[in-house]
Amino acid sequence: MLLKQYKNHFVSSLETLYDSMEIESFFYIVSTFLHKKNRIALVFEPDFEINNEQLEHWNNILEELKKEKPIQYVLGEAWFFGLRFEVDANTLIPRPETEELVQWIIDTITEENSDFNQNSLKIIDIGTGSGCIPISLKKELPMTEVSAIDVSDGALEVAQKNALTNNITVHFIKKDILSHTELLLENQKWDIIVSNPPYVRLLEKEEIKKNVLEYEPHLALFVADDDALLFYRKIATLARTSLTENGYLFFEINQYLGAETVALLENLGFKNIQLRQDIYGNNRMIRCTLK
């Protein structure tokens, strides 16, 4: 069968669930995944054929997409900061907004007036999930020492695989930061502390798409309505004694709680608090210091 013929079936099977642009995107993502043929390649190979075994792969993927399962989970991979990451039900799917947070960290470290010496720089990511933040930072800043924490055994297993696949060394630690009074060891200091913790309130579930709500890990997504800043308060409190003199705390945040998160950090004594919007115009990330 010609792949362009199968495309008609693929599109018609999904058109009641997704918009046309998303279906087109799915088709070319799968084509690249199965055949190493992206949109441009198929323009030059309009008569590209798939055999029965390949057709079965296409049909299996299509059935999963019809269940509104995220394509990243269907294929078992996601791309972040130019790197391939394995993802499964233990990890959130890396998102473009988080790439912006990573870039902000890199820019902060490498700017001309930075006080940082990359040869001795220490970074820690709290709630690492797939490991996309620390692995990307280590890839871009190879001389730094990078560690990452998560409470989930499953997430840490995936993150360790991703570090190995991308030939990156990150120190992964299992820890429930909510139940500890220090990040790792007493008196250990970090130049950069970063976290993208759970921040979606239960009241916001109605806004969450089915493909997120039914498939992504709730442990990494949701917090109680009456204490939505639980993780921010705890991490910021730990950071007060764990940041170096010139260190920075970075957060990805709930877009609806920008002012509240800033107020929390101010009350805990943080300075130079910057609230930044993401590519969609939502309040999405914060940078701050202790001096």
My answer on whether 111 and 179 are in the same domain is yes
My answer on whether 44 and 118 are in the same domain is no
The number of domains in the chain is 2
The model's confidence at residue 186, banded by pLDDT at 50, 70 and 90, is low
Residue 81 lies in a domain: no
Quick one: pLDDT at residue 117?
79
My answer on whether 223 and 260 are in the same domain is yes
Q: Which domain holds residue 55?
A: 3-67
Quick one: pLDDT at residue 118?
77
Average pLDDT score over the chain: 93
Residue 250 lies in a domain: yes
What distance in Å separates the CA atoms of residue 49 and residue 33, rounded to the nearest whole number? 15
My answer on whether 221 and 267 are in the same domain is yes
- 119-140 average pLDDT score: 96
Residue entry with tokens 């198929």 = 42
In eight-state DSSP terms, residue 141 is S
My answer on whether 202 and 266 are in the same domain is yes
My answer on whether 63 and 95 are in the same domain is no
- Amino acid found at 150: D
- 24-46 average pLDDT score: 94
My answer on whether 136 and 262 are in the same domain is yes
What distance in Å separates the CA atoms of residue 53 and residue 45, rounded to the nearest whole number? 20
pLDDT tens sequence across 218-277 = 877 888 888 999 999 999 999 999 999 999 999 999 999 999 999 999 999 999 999 999
pLDDT at 72 > cutoff 80: yes
My answer on whether 62 and 97 are in the same domain is no
Quick one: pLDDT at residue 220?
79
In eight-state DSSP terms, residue 94 is P
pLDDT > 70: what percent of the chain?
A: 99
Residue 75 lies in a domain: no
What distance in Å separates the CA atoms of residue 262 and residue 31, rounded to the nearest whole number? 44
The model's confidence at residue 185, banded by pLDDT at 50, 70 and 90, is low
Report the candidate in 195, 171, 193, 190 with the shortest Cα–Cα distance to residue 122.
190
Q: Select from 15, 34, 67 the last residue of a domain.
A: 67
